[in-house]
A and B are shown apart, each in its own frame.
Chain A
């Protein structure tokens, strides 16, 4: 089955992102496909490469990036949510004249159309968040 995932909460404050990650991993291990994870609202903060959690804690962003690199999962950050929260890739840096970028490897910024498309093309769209 093709299962896409929607993450609506930021890292560390809320378990939604952890649960989404564990769910994605379990789905892949059970032989399902996870074509895309869409990060919306504060969920886009999962994609910053500027976090430094304590060493004995999980590294949420690196875990997601590894999922993209090892399993080919498409990690998409909502562009409007990113612009409001200071999530910047090279394209956004140039377009909005910022002086830095912070989108981690494996993540990309795109529009809400990617969420709708995931809903259309997947057998299930599973939401994590309140």
Chain B
């Protein structure tokens, strides 16, 4: 139902993901916004900080809570030209995780760099 956007303007969009994948609906809503936004040919980044790093955890199993397991969709982002995935190093470490625990390749950035990254954007959407 979304029409192609032909306004010719390209802005830098960043989606900031801060919450666990299933305690609230924000993670899946963020993903849906990114996928729909892909039709607009914008410069898109996704940033995972705080509990948001759990969204990228390998081997998620949601059967017992009867929620859709949408984690595999992060691997499909590449097909939508969403290739800039950033994870804050400190958030990952504080939760006992490393890049090996993640289901998709990401760029690790430290906390100081997070501020810089957000500063560079035109549109910041926080979930």
Asked whether B29 lies within 8 Å of A40 as measured between CB atoms, the reply is yes
Closest to B7 in A: A120
Closest to A112 in B: B36
Asked whether B36 lies within 8 Å of A119 as measured between CB atoms, the reply is no
Residue of B25, B40, B123 near A113 (CB, 8 A) is: B40
Asked whether A120 lies within 8 Å of B36 as measured between CB atoms, the reply is no
A90 close to B (CB within 8 Å)? no
A130 vs B39: C-alpha distance when bound (angstroms): 27
For A6, A116, A117, the residue with the greatest tally of chain B CB atoms inside 10 Å of its CB is A116
**Count class of interface residues, chain B:** 20 to 34
Asked whether A120 lies within 8 Å of B26 as measured between CB atoms, the reply is no
Q: Which of B24-72 contact A (CB under 8 A)?
A: 25-26, 29, 32-33, 36-37, 39-40, 42
Asked whether B29 lies within 8 Å of A113 as measured between CB atoms, the reply is no
Describe A's contact surface by its main secondary structure.
Answer: helix
A40 vs B11: C-alpha distance when bound (angstroms): 21
A111 close to B (CB within 8 Å)? yes
Asked whether B1 lies within 8 Å of A111 as measured between CB atoms, the reply is yes
Which residues in B have their C-beta under 8 angstroms from that of A127?
Answer: 124-126
A34 vs B1: C-alpha distance when bound (angstroms): 25
Which residues in A have their C-beta under 8 angstroms from that of B122?
Answer: 119
Which residues in A have their C-beta under 8 angstroms from that of B94?
Answer: none
**Count class of interface residues, chain A:** 10 to 19
Residue of A41, A81, A116, A121 near B36 (CB, 8 A) is: A116
A125 close to B (CB within 8 Å)? yes
Q: Which of A78-130 contact B (CB under 8 A)?
A: 79-81, 111-113, 115-117, 119-121, 125, 127
Asked whether A120 lies within 8 Å of B40 as measured between CB atoms, the reply is yes
Residue of A111, A113, A115, A119 near B11 (CB, 8 A) is: A119
12 more CB-based (< 8 A) A-B contacts, given A113-B40, A119-B13, A121-B7:
A41-B25, A41-B26, A79-B1, A81-B29, A112-B2, A112-B36, A113-B2, A116-B5, A116-B13, A116-B42, A119-B11, A120-B42
